[in-house]
């Protein structure tokens, strides 16, 4: 892996903080190096995971409001639990992306 490709891969991982979907997609389609494409795809998947957890959170809250008629307690606890789940997943993903980005920078 060349120095430029390692730098592009690192930027894809670090983009979780400033352009989560744009940079990995652009890097995937612009670069010709297969290893850089692999890292761009891995970072893109890691950027999509928090969005999926938000969808699960919303689905749980909406289903709790319509299925259970208990004054909204289930909906409240599903939203609160989902929020905690989202925060934990987001922290894990951010830490993983930083570690992977640093690994790419050490290849330079």
At 82 the pLDDT is 77
**Confidence class of residue 83 from pLDDT cuts 50, 70 and 90?**
confident
**Confidence class of residue 91 from pLDDT cuts 50, 70 and 90?**
very high
pTM value is 0.81
Q: Quick one: which of 52, 49, 44 has its CA closest to 22?
A: 44
Cα 106 from chain centroid (whole Å): 22
pLDDT averaged over every residue in the chain: 85
pLDDT tens sequence across 39-64: 999 999 999 988 888 888 777 777 76
Which residue segment(s) compose the domain that 31 sits in? 3-106
Answer positive or negative: Cα dihedral of 48, 51, 55, 61.
positive
The yes-or-no verdict on residue 71 having pLDDT over 60 is no
Q: What percent of the chain has pLDDT over 70?
A: 87
Q: Helices 22-30 & 3-14, crossing angle to 10 degrees?
A: 150
DSSP-derived 3-state class of residue 54: helix
At 80 the pLDDT is 79
* Region 60-80 average pLDDT: 68
* Nearest-angstrom CA–CA distance, 92 and 72: 30
Domain count, the chain: 1
* Nearest-angstrom CA–CA distance, 89 and 83: 10
């Amino acid at each position: 892996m060349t120095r430029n490709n390692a730098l592009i891969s690192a930027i894809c991982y670090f983009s979780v903080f400033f352009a989560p979907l744009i940079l990995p997609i652009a890097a995937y389609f612009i670069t010709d190096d297969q290893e850089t494409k692999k890292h761009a795809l891995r970072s893109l998947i890691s950027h999509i995971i928090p969005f999926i957890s938000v969808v699960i959170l919303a689905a749980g809250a909406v289903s709790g409001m319509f299925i259970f008629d208990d004054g909204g307690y289930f909906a409240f606890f599903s939203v609160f639990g989902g929020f905690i789940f989202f925060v934990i997943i987001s922290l894990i993903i951010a830490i993983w992306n930083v570690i992977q980005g640093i690994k790419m920078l050490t290849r330079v």
